[in-house]
Chain A
Amino acid sequence: MRYLPLTDADRAEMLGAIGVADIDALFADIPLDKRLTDLPSLPLAQSEMAVERKLAALAARNVSAGSVPFFVGAGAYRHHVPATVDHLIQRSEFLTSYTPYQPEVSQGTLQVLFEFQSQVARLTGMEVANASMYDGSTGTAEAVLMAHRITRRNKAVVSGGLHPHYRGVTRTVSEMAGDRVDTLDPDPTGTEDILARIDGETSCVVVQSPSFYGHLVDLRPIAEKAHAVGALLIAVFTEVMALGLIEPPGAQGADIVVGEGQSLGNPLTFGGPYVGLFATREKFVRQMPGRLCGETVDADGKRGFVLTLSTREQHIRRDKATSNICTNSGLCCLAFSIHMTLLGETGLTRLARLNHANAVKLAGLLETVPGVEVLNRTFFNEFTIRVRRNATDVVQALADRGVLGGVPARRLEPKHPWLDDLIVVASTEVNTDEDRAAFSAALKEVLA
């Protein structure tokens, strides 16, 4: 087998050195009647070529985003990732290293994490960021738990503009911990009154901007009301690219900012792995979940980096830890950070503007299709349309015509039939004028 360096002669020699007759002697502690005598009924070893052939055949049965006019977003976005990013993350020293527990031989990963944390803090307008969560949804649930620890209250108020999956994860994690969640109804028009739901028992208010339906939300009055009753504002985003153009949540009074970083550096990959971004104020740092990288010096006084404040973490504090998270999204952080470094503020601003411009063009075009209404007054690169037909059928009919034209809201909100005719539509820099024209022509045909 091509991955196993030991030869049969090596094995025999090693068994001799150990002083046992055969390999099964080393498995003697497994109860005899439970040991497998036959191999599991699975295929035997295959050559690289054979495996590649089978997997390529599976892959070929999927419609890849790049092969069609593509307008699907709703929490994961197709962006162009510079070739440099994928080349660099495949460097052996990044790809095949472990969590940097031994800082003297892990400065590469550690410096990247320090740079990543610094980039995320600046993007979100916060003081500190951690070394990543699994994704935006688990980050959101962890932010709620963190707010409960800080405020010593246990009721979260959750906006109807929060991504339904994020809301689901938050609800599951809260229910399991015995906490309360007050969830507003889905808010496709961006008009909910969340202020009325904030009271003296509220631990935190969770608001997404741009919202799941694409609306930009003014966080300031929400932060004010939350702070007035001693609660925290958790600001969420699923499209980090938006921060290139809109005001950062930190500048609007957010106490914890969490979001999905997939858009920078990371491919769609059917939903994962992604990278959760998590930032907060310095005063809350000891309540943060996840790993933190900090600057220090070595024995010669040279600057270096280490994982720090680990007394918050499970490997030290066990059942008293701030979270059970161990492995995070290391390589996805690296991809994010490289892409961010390549862009710089200049490139990010331009790219965000191009995203917005493309979405504005698309909205303008779709508004001319009979039977289509754009629900958003404001948006970044994603908005919601009402098609006055069953949106699931419409999206399927578009797919049958070779256009992936957004996500029916009902797919994520099965309990709310009144959302039946809504489609969440995204347009990023990858879309051309031809793509948009194909989308609007197909939609016109389907709705005719």
Chain B
Amino acid sequence: MTMNREGRPTAPAATKDAGVSPTFTGNRALDIEEKLIFEVGRLDVTGVDVEDPGSFQDRLGGHARKAPIDLPGLTEPEAMRHYVRLSRQNYAIDLGLYPLGSCTMKHNPRLNEKMARLPGFADVHPLQPLSTVPGAIDLVAELGRWLLELTGMASVAMSPKAGAHGEYCGMAAIKAAIAAKGETRPIVLVPESAHGTNPATAAALGFKVVPVPARADGTVDPAEVRKLLSPDVAAIMLTNPNTCGLFERDIVEIAEAVHAAGAYFYADGANFNAIVGKVRPGDLGVDAMHINLHKTFSTPHGGGGPGAGPVVLSEKLAPFAPVPFVRFNPDGSGEFVETRKQAGDTATPFGRITAFHGQMGMFVRALTYMMSHGADGLRQASEDAVLSANYIKARLSDVMTVAFPERPAMHEVLFDDRFLDGTGVTTLDFAKAMIDEGYHPMTMYFPLVVHGAMLIEPTESESKQSLDQFIGTLRHLAEKAKAGEVESFKAAPRLAPRKRLDETRAARQPKLAWSEPTTPKAEAAE
């Protein structure tokens, strides 16, 4: 260990020791613990000055609140600290590589944020007279045009609020189209590797879900699909590229078989980001596909939303799109159709799936992103995402086990836990060890078709240097696991704001809202 002139040790080991001893506050330098607002706030405090309207005769008719709500307030400086401190306990794309497979944690350009906050977009009401919002309607129509051009589809329903809501929208259109033909088709085929939202969506629409097994290389076998097709099948819901990170190479054959059976092809577009500008789903026989604007087109994930999930539809399904929708006039302008009545003879909307018109704030961000990239940049982004995933696959395949090594990966690469056999280290342990190295873990235990799945999606937002450091880290961890250092994995993470949390306790004794702790004194008084 080297010493500086003042005699203080400079090696990292020493500072680590210092960190272990408890501090008076429980804080560690920049790592500051923050209590709940219910513990730091006060009922008589507010951070908002409100004008006093003076006395007036109320018109509440005796409906006035009689009891206090018990909601604490914070002044502005206190609120600022509360939330800034909390923010520092989160991992974020802006901090580092966020390899959550299937989630597409790419860079969120700040121009998008700035544009979404223009008063002409952020401060307009959904029910203002349409004559006062022509720019908003044009924006929605313009985004719709980009989506149609990129997907090769006939029509787009803009109102779905997120991916799963888009699935609902597309599958409801399919259900309506089947009903319009006077048919009853109760079954939907869903591959085992699908996102949980697919079977949940089908079930919410009253369909019975029949799983389609994956073949050995991780893709769907058209022969299996043909076996399951019958006049009872309404649709197949297929993710492409699929959740194993593979392009379904027999997709055209599957689509043809599905159509021949009188059923529809729903594509889960969660992974559209791999193929933008490379191939159009409309050319592959897709009838409906949602597009997660918060994945492919970079609107921020915001700690779990909001998203947006417009659905593109084929010619056959277009008339069934829910209200509201944008109708494209021959002169290229967009017209807003809000009601079934307005839809007239040209359409038979299946209904309405949300109040108002959809996620305008996300539309502005997504269109800003698309215009920035342009057609060339969007294609380059897809290529870079795929290149980066394959680079990770190539550089790790000797120390980790690639689940489906035969086919090229698309934007994400799936590993299983065979490389951990006999080490005592599980996928969970491996993921938690990544946290100590400064990375958010990859998607774990999904898809369900391989054991101990680790799904890595680097996106196009990483430099080669960043990818190399990530690869180096995973190599190091894999080697460490194989070297028998199981204990350090079991204890991980050691350096995060929290060690492993007791999820069983959370589920067995749910505490879902704050309540005043019962003090011994209060108990005695009862």
Whether B162 contacts A338 by the Cβ 8 Å rule is no
Whether B341 contacts A414 by the Cβ 8 Å rule is yes
Given A45-B372, A72-B128, CB of A338 within 8 Å of CB of B199: no
Q: CA separation between A65 and B133, bound complex, in Å?
A: 11
Given A111-B36, A350-B46, CB of A411 within 8 Å of CB of B301: no
Contacts of B376 in A (CB 8 A): 39, 44-45
Give A426's nearest chain B residue, CB to CB. B125
Min Cβ gap B494→A in Å is 10
Whether B127 contacts A48 by the Cβ 8 Å rule is no
Segment at the A interface, from B9-17, B47-55, B227-235, B325-333? B47-55
Q: Which B350-375 residues sit within 8 Å CB-CB of chain A?
A: 350-362, 364, 367-368, 370-375
Whether A331 contacts B305 by the Cβ 8 Å rule is yes
Given A105-B440, A114-B514, CB of A350 within 8 Å of CB of B368: no
Q: CA separation between A348 and B165, bound complex, in Å?
A: 33
Whether A95 contacts B497 by the Cβ 8 Å rule is no
Give B86's nearest chain A residue, CB to CB. A108
Whether A379 contacts B132 by the Cβ 8 Å rule is no
- Per-residue CB contact flags for chain B residues 87-108 toward chain A (1 = under 8 Å, else 0) read 1111111110010100101011
Whether A118 contacts B91 by the Cβ 8 Å rule is no
Q: Does A151 count as interface, using CB distance less than 8 angstroms? A: no
Whether B206 contacts A137 by the Cβ 8 Å rule is no
Give A216's nearest chain B residue, CB to CB. B63
Cross-chain contact of B302 among A78, A245, A331 (Cβ < 8 A) = A331
Min Cβ gap B317→A in Å is 15
Contacts of A147 in B (CB 8 A): none
Segment at the A interface, from B414-422, B457-465, B474-482? B457-465
Q: Does A135 count as interface, using CB distance less than 8 angstroms? A: yes
Q: Does A60 count as interface, using CB distance less than 8 angstroms? A: yes
Contacts of B168 in A (CB 8 A): 324
Q: Does B312 count as interface, using CB distance less than 8 angstroms? A: no
Whether B379 contacts A56 by the Cβ 8 Å rule is no
Contacts of B119 in A (CB 8 A): 59, 64, 66-67
Q: Does B180 count as interface, using CB distance less than 8 angstroms? A: no
Instruction: Count contacts on B: residues with CB < 8 A to the other chain.
Output: 208
Min Cβ gap A24→B in Å is 9
Q: Which A210-257 residues sit within 8 Å CB-CB of chain B?
A: 216, 218, 243-248, 251
Min Cβ gap B466→A in Å is 7
Segment at the A interface, from B72-80, B257-265, B518-526? B72-80
Cross-chain contact of A273 among B128, B131, B146, B161 (Cβ < 8 A) = B161
Give B387's nearest chain A residue, CB to CB. A14
Cross-chain contact of A345 among B72, B161, B387 (Cβ < 8 A) = B72
Give A340's nearest chain B residue, CB to CB. B71
Q: CA separation between A340 and B254, bound complex, in Å?
A: 51
Cross-chain contact of A111 among B86, B136, B375 (Cβ < 8 A) = B86
Min Cβ gap B133→A in Å is 5
Contacts of A109 in B (CB 8 A): 90, 303-304
Identify 29 residue pairs between A and B in the complex whose beta-carbon atoms are under 8 Å apart, listed by A's number.
A14-B388, A26-B387, A27-B279, A30-B279, A44-B374, A76-B356, A84-B76, A88-B87, A89-B302, A91-B83, A91-B87, A96-B92, A101-B100, A134-B354, A135-B161, A137-B354, A172-B351, A268-B126, A272-B306, A273-B361, A296-B506, A302-B498, A320-B203, A328-B306, A330-B306, A346-B73, A350-B52, A357-B54, A395-B129
15 extra interface residue pairs, beta carbon distance < 8 Å, beyond A114-B36, A285-B510: A1-B380, A14-B391, A27-B275, A34-B283, A55-B115, A61-B135, A64-B123, A67-B119, A96-B93, A294-B510, A332-B306, A347-B50, A363-B59, A399-B128, A404-B129
